[in-house]
């Protein structure tokens, strides 16, 4: 291995990126654009979900319930409806996502048995929103019920403690506001890095084949390993720059709490960059034309990273078979690491498993990439 040759290639590659508006835009503008789109566009929080109320009882309790529901920022009252047909119609028109029917004898049943049924209908065509809205609604109803139970106990001359009303007080750690942005932004950073990193390197070898410069290159004594290191060096620097930009934006612009160590962050980010740059390079060596390489790289990075990294869908909620598949989705380890470092302040020691996984991925991909480059035309 000769450093002079590696430097010659790295320098040449840097000049070419610098003079190619397309590469430059991809390296410098794409991360900002993606961050804006994904950072603002993707939110798993729901706000002001349309709610229809069919209050058959019109009692103190039912009014309190409705007040509570609307007092939160999560629901807005879309309409108060007179009958079941109207509920159905409002649902069909899409006026509301949820409809709550308070039955005629609601407070009476609650008063006598301590247990009453509240019918809520959700439009489950948007499963995600429905799940979250159901959770919120249950929370609110729970509070109202608890209040009522306390009053009921008092009115029967019992002290609340003695009836043993269970006061469930959930404590949320690490992401206290349950703000999904804190959860999503670190994932967005992983997506941007894998997208930009693999896209940039996917063009680099294919371009040499397309322009006919590769034949000249492989007639020189440069080795496959020198060639790879020289090619990757400038993109590694770009990758680190993009990572720094995205991570700073995450911490300072989107105000995701950062509780971990900078060293852990830099080390794992460098590892992850090596993995994605290596994948792009490997694809470029194999596919040999820029358009094809770019598309293959996109498939190998974008899809698994968005769908299977745990970025949007929690891995432990996936079917067993799919969970097994995610083991080879390198991005899941980085997503795990980023969330842990940002929100939990985890250190390298806490993250041995995902860090080791990234080391293994980086080593295997680099090895495969160096091996698959042959200095021959056949």
Can residue 146 be called a binding residue for other proteins (CB under 8 A)? no
Among 11, 252, 253, 367, binds other proteins (CB under 8 A): 11
Query: Is residue 269 a contact partner of residue 226, using CB atoms and an 8 Å limit?
Result: no
Q: Which stretch binds other proteins (CB under 8 A): 3-11, 101-109, 242-250, 281-289?
A: 3-11
- What are the DSSP calls for 205-259, one per residue? HHHHHHHTHHHHHTTSS--HHHHHHHHHHHHHHHHHHHHHHHHHIIIIIS-----
User: Could you tell me where the DSSP H helices lie in 309-351?
Assistant: 320-326, 330-339
Kindly report the CA angle at 284 between 283 and 288, in degrees rounded to 5? 115
Structural tokens at position 213: 């410069």
Element (H, E) at 101: strand 98-102
Can residue 169 be called a binding residue for other proteins (CB under 8 A)? no
Structural tokens at position 82: 């007179």
**Residue among 155 and 216 whose Cβ is closer to other proteins:** 216
Q: Which stretch binds other proteins (CB under 8 A): 177-185, 206-214, 239-247, 308-316?
A: 206-214
Could you say which residues in the range 18-57 bind other proteins, by CB under 8 A?
19-20
CB of 242 to other proteins, least distance (A): 23
What distance in Å separates the CA atoms of residue 92 and residue 52, rounded to the nearest whole number? 12
User: Could you tell me where the DSSP H helices lie in 74-126?
Assistant: 84-93, 106-113
Q: Which stretch binds other proteins (CB under 8 A): 90-98, 169-177, 190-198, 205-213?
A: 205-213
Among 12, 48, 63, 80, binds other proteins (CB under 8 A): 12
Site string for other proteins, 213-252 (x = CB under 8 A): x-xxxxxxxxx-----------------------------
Contacting positions for other proteins (CB under 8 A):
2, 4-5, 7-9, 11-12, 15-16, 19-20, 211-213, 215-223, 375-378
């Amino acid at each position: 291995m000769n450093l002079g040759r590696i430097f010659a290639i790295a320098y040449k590659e840097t000049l070419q990126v610098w003079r190619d508006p397309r590469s430059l835009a991809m390296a410098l503008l794409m991360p900002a654009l993606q961050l804006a789109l994904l950072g603002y566009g993707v939110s798993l929080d729901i706000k002001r979900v349309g709610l229809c109320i069919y209050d058959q009882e019109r009692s103190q309790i039912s009014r309190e319930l409705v007040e509570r529901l609307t007092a939160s920022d999560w629901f807005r009252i879309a309409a108060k409806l007179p009958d079941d047909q109207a509920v159905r119609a409002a649902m069909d028109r899409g006026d509301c996502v949820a409809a709550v029917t308070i039955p005629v004898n609601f407070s009476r049943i609650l008063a006598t048995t301590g247990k009453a049924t509240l019918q809520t209908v959700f439009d489950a065509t948007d499963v995600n929103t429905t799940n979250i809205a159901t959770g919120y609604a249950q929370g609110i109803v729970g509070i109202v019920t608890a209040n009522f139970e306390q009053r009921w106990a008092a009115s029967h001359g019992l002290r609340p403690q003695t009836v043993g009303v269970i006061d469930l007080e959930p404590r949320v750690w690490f992401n206290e506001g349950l703000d999904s942005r804190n959860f999503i932004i670190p994932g967005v950073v992983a997506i941007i890095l894998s997208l930009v990193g693999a896209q940039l390197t996917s063009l680099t070898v294919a371009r040499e084949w397309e322009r006919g410069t590769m034949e000249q290159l492989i007639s020189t004594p440069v080795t496959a390993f020198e060639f790879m290191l020289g090619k990757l060096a400038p993109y590694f620097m770009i990758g680190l720059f993009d990572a720094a930009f995205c991570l700073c934006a995450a911490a300072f612009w989107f105000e995701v709490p950062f509780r971990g160590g900078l060293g852990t962050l830099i080390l794992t980010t460098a590892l992850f960059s090596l993995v994605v740059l290596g994948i792009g390079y490997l694809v470029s060596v194999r596919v040999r034309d820029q358009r094809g390489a770019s598309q293959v790289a996109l498939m190998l990075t974008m899809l698994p990273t968005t769908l299977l990294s745990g970025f949007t869908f929690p891995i432990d909620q996936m079917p067993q078979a799919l969970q097994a598949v995610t083991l080879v989705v390198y991005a899941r380890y980085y997503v795990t690491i980023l969330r842990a470092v940002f929100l939990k302040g985890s250190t390298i020691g806490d993250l041995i498993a995902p860090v080791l996984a990234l080391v293994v991925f980086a080593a295997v991909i680099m090895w495969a990439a160096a091996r698959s480059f042959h200095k021959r035309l056949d």
